[in-house]
Amino acid sequence: MEDLSLHILDIVENAISAKAKRIDILVMEEPKEDRLVIEIKDDGIGMDEAVSRKATDPFFTTRTSRRVGLGLSLIAQAAQETGGTVRIESELGKGTKVTATFQYHHIDRKPLGNMIETMTTLLLGNAGLDISYTHQKEGKSYVLNGRSLKERFKDRSLTDPEVIQWLRKDLKEGLAQIGVQG
Ligand SMILES: Nc1ncnc2c1ncn2[C@@H]1O[C@H](COP(=O)(O)OP(=O)(O)OP(=O)(O)O)[C@@H](O)[C@H]1O
Ligand SMILES: [Mg+2]
Protein backbone atom coordinates (compact mmCIF):
# COMPACT_ATOMS: atom_id res chain seq x y z
CA MET A 1 0.00 0.00 0.00
CA GLU A 2 1.38 3.34 -1.12
CA ASP A 3 -0.15 5.82 1.25
CA LEU A 4 -1.10 6.01 4.90
CA SER A 5 -4.53 7.27 3.83
CA LEU A 6 -5.24 3.80 2.39
CA HIS A 7 -4.32 2.25 5.72
CA ILE A 8 -6.75 4.68 7.35
CA LEU A 9 -9.50 3.44 5.01
CA ASP A 10 -8.66 -0.13 6.03
CA ILE A 11 -8.80 0.53 9.75
CA VAL A 12 -12.07 2.44 9.37
CA GLU A 13 -13.37 -0.54 7.39
CA ASN A 14 -12.68 -2.70 10.46
CA ALA A 15 -14.67 -0.30 12.62
CA ILE A 16 -17.58 -0.43 10.19
CA SER A 17 -17.45 -4.25 10.19
CA ALA A 18 -17.52 -4.05 13.98
CA LYS A 19 -20.87 -2.21 13.72
CA ALA A 20 -19.56 1.10 14.94
CA LYS A 21 -21.98 4.03 14.89
CA ARG A 22 -19.34 6.59 15.66
CA ILE A 23 -15.78 6.70 14.32
CA ASP A 24 -13.24 9.36 15.25
CA ILE A 25 -10.17 9.72 13.08
CA LEU A 26 -7.22 11.72 14.33
CA VAL A 27 -4.05 12.49 12.38
CA MET A 28 -1.35 14.26 14.35
CA GLU A 29 1.74 15.52 12.56
CA GLU A 30 4.62 16.60 14.73
CA PRO A 31 7.60 16.99 12.40
CA LYS A 32 9.66 18.75 15.05
CA GLU A 33 9.20 15.81 17.38
CA ASP A 34 9.79 13.49 14.41
CA ARG A 35 6.43 11.86 15.02
CA LEU A 36 3.25 11.13 13.08
CA VAL A 37 0.33 9.58 14.89
CA ILE A 38 -2.84 8.12 13.41
CA GLU A 39 -5.58 7.24 15.86
CA ILE A 40 -8.89 5.64 14.94
CA LYS A 41 -11.48 5.17 17.63
CA ASP A 42 -14.80 3.38 17.28
CA ASP A 43 -17.76 2.38 19.41
CA GLY A 44 -18.21 -1.00 17.75
CA ILE A 45 -18.40 -4.49 19.25
CA GLY A 46 -14.81 -4.43 20.47
CA MET A 47 -12.49 -7.37 21.01
CA ASP A 48 -11.68 -9.52 23.98
CA GLU A 49 -8.08 -9.71 25.07
CA ALA A 50 -7.27 -12.87 23.12
CA VAL A 51 -8.57 -11.42 19.85
CA SER A 52 -6.93 -8.05 20.34
CA ARG A 53 -3.59 -9.73 21.06
CA LYS A 54 -3.79 -11.69 17.80
CA ALA A 55 -5.33 -8.91 15.75
CA THR A 56 -2.10 -7.73 14.06
CA ASP A 57 -1.18 -11.30 13.06
CA PRO A 58 -1.76 -11.61 9.29
CA PHE A 59 -3.06 -15.16 9.75
CA PHE A 60 -5.69 -14.11 12.21
CA THR A 61 -9.13 -12.97 11.14
CA THR A 62 -12.68 -13.44 12.36
CA ARG A 63 -13.84 -13.09 8.78
CA THR A 64 -15.38 -16.23 7.39
CA SER A 65 -14.88 -15.27 3.77
CA ARG A 66 -11.12 -15.83 3.76
CA ARG A 67 -8.31 -16.96 5.94
CA VAL A 68 -6.08 -13.95 6.21
CA GLY A 69 -6.74 -10.60 7.80
CA LEU A 70 -4.33 -8.00 6.59
CA GLY A 71 -5.60 -4.57 7.59
CA LEU A 72 -3.99 -4.33 11.00
CA SER A 73 -0.90 -6.35 10.17
CA LEU A 74 -0.13 -4.07 7.22
CA ILE A 75 -0.44 -0.84 9.18
CA ALA A 76 1.63 -2.41 11.96
CA GLN A 77 4.29 -3.31 9.41
CA ALA A 78 4.22 0.21 7.92
CA ALA A 79 4.69 1.70 11.39
CA GLN A 80 7.43 -0.75 12.38
CA GLU A 81 9.37 -0.01 9.20
CA THR A 82 9.84 3.50 10.58
CA GLY A 83 10.66 2.38 14.09
CA GLY A 84 7.09 3.05 15.20
CA THR A 85 4.37 0.89 16.69
CA VAL A 86 0.69 0.04 16.58
CA ARG A 87 -1.25 -0.14 19.81
CA ILE A 88 -4.71 -1.65 20.06
CA GLU A 89 -6.93 -0.82 23.01
CA SER A 90 -10.25 -2.57 22.93
CA GLU A 91 -13.06 -3.52 25.21
CA LEU A 92 -15.76 -6.01 24.36
CA GLY A 93 -19.07 -4.24 23.85
CA LYS A 94 -17.48 -0.79 24.14
CA GLY A 95 -15.22 -0.24 21.18
CA THR A 96 -11.70 -0.09 19.91
CA LYS A 97 -8.90 2.41 19.57
CA VAL A 98 -6.05 1.78 17.16
CA THR A 99 -3.04 4.07 17.51
CA ALA A 100 -0.28 3.91 14.92
CA THR A 101 2.90 5.88 15.52
CA PHE A 102 5.46 6.60 12.81
CA GLN A 103 8.83 8.26 12.78
CA TYR A 104 7.98 11.35 10.73
CA HIS A 105 11.22 11.82 8.82
CA HIS A 106 12.12 8.16 8.44
CA ILE A 107 13.04 7.32 4.84
CA ASP A 108 10.55 4.43 4.79
CA ARG A 109 7.67 6.45 6.19
CA LYS A 110 4.88 6.37 3.62
CA PRO A 111 3.35 9.68 2.58
CA LEU A 112 -0.02 10.50 4.05
CA GLY A 113 -1.64 10.55 0.62
CA ASN A 114 -4.82 12.26 -0.42
CA MET A 115 -6.83 12.94 2.74
CA ILE A 116 -9.36 15.03 0.80
CA GLU A 117 -10.44 12.09 -1.32
CA THR A 118 -10.13 9.64 1.56
CA MET A 119 -12.44 11.64 3.82
CA THR A 120 -14.86 12.47 1.01
CA THR A 121 -15.14 8.76 0.20
CA LEU A 122 -15.62 7.83 3.84
CA LEU A 123 -18.23 10.46 4.63
CA LEU A 124 -20.27 10.06 1.47
CA GLY A 125 -20.08 6.28 1.52
CA ASN A 126 -21.21 6.02 5.15
CA ALA A 127 -23.84 8.71 5.52
CA GLY A 128 -25.53 6.75 8.32
CA LEU A 129 -22.47 6.86 10.55
CA ASP A 130 -21.14 9.62 12.73
CA ILE A 131 -17.60 10.09 11.43
CA SER A 132 -15.27 12.84 12.56
CA TYR A 133 -11.85 13.79 11.27
CA THR A 134 -9.36 15.87 13.19
CA HIS A 135 -6.01 16.77 11.69
CA GLN A 136 -3.42 18.51 13.82
CA LYS A 137 -0.11 19.87 12.71
CA GLU A 138 2.29 21.73 14.97
CA GLY A 139 -0.39 23.12 17.24
CA LYS A 140 -2.88 24.01 14.50
CA SER A 141 -5.90 21.91 13.90
CA TYR A 142 -8.67 21.21 11.42
CA VAL A 143 -11.87 19.39 12.36
CA LEU A 144 -14.48 17.95 10.04
CA ASN A 145 -17.58 16.53 11.57
CA GLY A 146 -19.97 14.33 9.62
CA ARG A 147 -22.78 15.31 11.97
CA SER A 148 -22.41 19.03 11.33
CA LEU A 149 -22.19 18.32 7.62
CA LYS A 150 -25.57 16.59 7.78
CA GLU A 151 -27.04 19.44 9.83
CA ARG A 152 -25.77 21.96 7.34
CA PHE A 153 -27.30 20.17 4.37
CA LYS A 154 -30.37 18.92 6.20
CA ASP A 155 -32.78 18.21 3.40
CA ARG A 156 -30.22 17.18 0.87
CA SER A 157 -28.55 13.95 0.02
CA LEU A 158 -24.84 13.82 0.79
CA THR A 159 -24.35 12.71 -2.80
CA ASP A 160 -25.76 16.02 -4.08
CA PRO A 161 -22.95 17.49 -6.24
CA GLU A 162 -23.16 20.75 -4.32
CA VAL A 163 -22.62 18.98 -1.01
CA ILE A 164 -19.65 17.07 -2.40
CA GLN A 165 -18.20 20.27 -3.77
CA TRP A 166 -18.60 22.03 -0.41
CA LEU A 167 -17.00 19.10 1.38
CA ARG A 168 -13.96 18.98 -0.92
CA LYS A 169 -13.53 22.74 -0.62
CA ASP A 170 -13.78 22.68 3.19
CA LEU A 171 -11.21 19.90 3.38
CA LYS A 172 -8.88 21.57 0.92
CA GLU A 173 -8.98 24.98 2.56
CA GLY A 174 -8.99 23.62 6.11
CA LEU A 175 -5.98 21.41 5.53
CA ALA A 176 -4.13 24.15 3.64
CA GLN A 177 -4.68 26.47 6.60
CA ILE A 178 -2.83 24.12 8.92
CA GLY A 179 -0.08 23.54 6.38
CA VAL A 180 -1.17 20.15 5.06
CA GLN A 181 -1.42 19.42 1.37
CA GLY A 182 -4.56 17.33 0.65
N1 LIG B 1 -12.24 -1.99 15.15
C2 LIG B 1 -12.37 -3.29 15.41
N3 LIG B 1 -13.37 -3.74 16.24
C4 LIG B 1 -13.51 -5.06 16.51
N5 LIG B 1 -12.71 -6.01 16.03
C6 LIG B 1 -11.71 -5.66 15.20
C7 LIG B 1 -11.48 -4.29 14.86
N8 LIG B 1 -10.40 -4.22 14.04
C9 LIG B 1 -9.98 -5.49 13.89
N10 LIG B 1 -10.74 -6.36 14.57
C11 LIG B 1 -10.55 -7.83 14.65
O12 LIG B 1 -9.22 -8.13 14.24
C13 LIG B 1 -9.23 -9.00 13.10
C14 LIG B 1 -8.09 -8.65 12.19
O15 LIG B 1 -8.32 -7.37 11.56
P16 LIG B 1 -7.61 -7.08 10.17
O17 LIG B 1 -8.05 -5.77 9.66
O18 LIG B 1 -6.14 -7.26 10.33
O19 LIG B 1 -8.13 -8.23 9.23
P20 LIG B 1 -9.61 -8.45 8.67
O21 LIG B 1 -10.41 -7.20 8.83
O22 LIG B 1 -10.12 -9.69 9.30
O23 LIG B 1 -9.35 -8.72 7.13
P24 LIG B 1 -8.92 -7.60 6.03
O25 LIG B 1 -8.52 -6.37 6.77
O26 LIG B 1 -7.77 -8.22 5.30
O27 LIG B 1 -10.10 -7.40 5.20
C28 LIG B 1 -10.62 -8.85 12.51
O29 LIG B 1 -10.99 -10.02 11.81
C30 LIG B 1 -11.48 -8.58 13.73
O31 LIG B 1 -11.78 -9.79 14.40
MG1 LIG C 1 -9.57 -5.35 8.18
CATH number, residue 19 = 3.30.565.10
Residue 18: pLDDT band with limits 50, 70, 90: very high
In a domain, 96, yes or no: yes
- Predicted pLDDT of residue 157: 86
- Give the mean model confidence (pLDDT) for residues 144-156: 89
Q: How far is 166 from 36, CA to CA, in rounded Å?
A: 28
Protein residues whose CB sits closer than 6 Å to any atom of ligand 1: 10, 14-15, 18, 42, 44-47, 51, 55, 60-63, 69-73, 96
The number of domains in the chain is: 1
Q: How far is CA 149 from CA 22, 103, 120, 145, 154, in A?
A: 15, 33, 11, 6, 8
Q: From 6, 14, 60, give the residue whose CB has the most ligand 1 atoms within 8 Å, as the site to mutate.
A: 14
The helix/strand/coil state of 101 is strand
Q: Is 114 part of any domain? A: yes
pLDDT at 11: 97
CA of 149 to the centre of ligand 2 (A): 27
For a substitution probing ligand 1, which of 40, 43, 54, 61 has the most ligand atoms within 8 Å of its CB? 61
Q: Is residue 155 part of a domain?
A: yes
Report the alpha-carbon distance of residue 26 to residue 13 in Å, rounded: 15
Flag whether 162 is in a domain.
Answer: yes
Residues in Cβ contact with 94 at an 8 Å cutoff, skipping those fewer than 6 apart: 43, 46
73 confidence band (pLDDT: 50, 70, 90): very high
The pLDDT tens digits of the residues spanning 85-142 come to 999 999 999 999 999 999 999 999 999 999 999 999 999 999 899 999 999 999 999 9
Indicate whether 182 belongs to any domain.
no
Cα separation, 58 vs 72, in Å, equals: 8
Asked, for residue 32, whether it belongs to a domain, the answer is yes
What does the pLDDT read at residue 105? 98
pLDDT at 154 over 90: no
Range of the domain at 59: 4-177
165 alpha carbon – ligand 2 mean position (Å): 30
14 in a structural domain: yes
* 72 lies in some domain: yes
Q: Cα separation of 82 and 102, whole Å?
A: 6
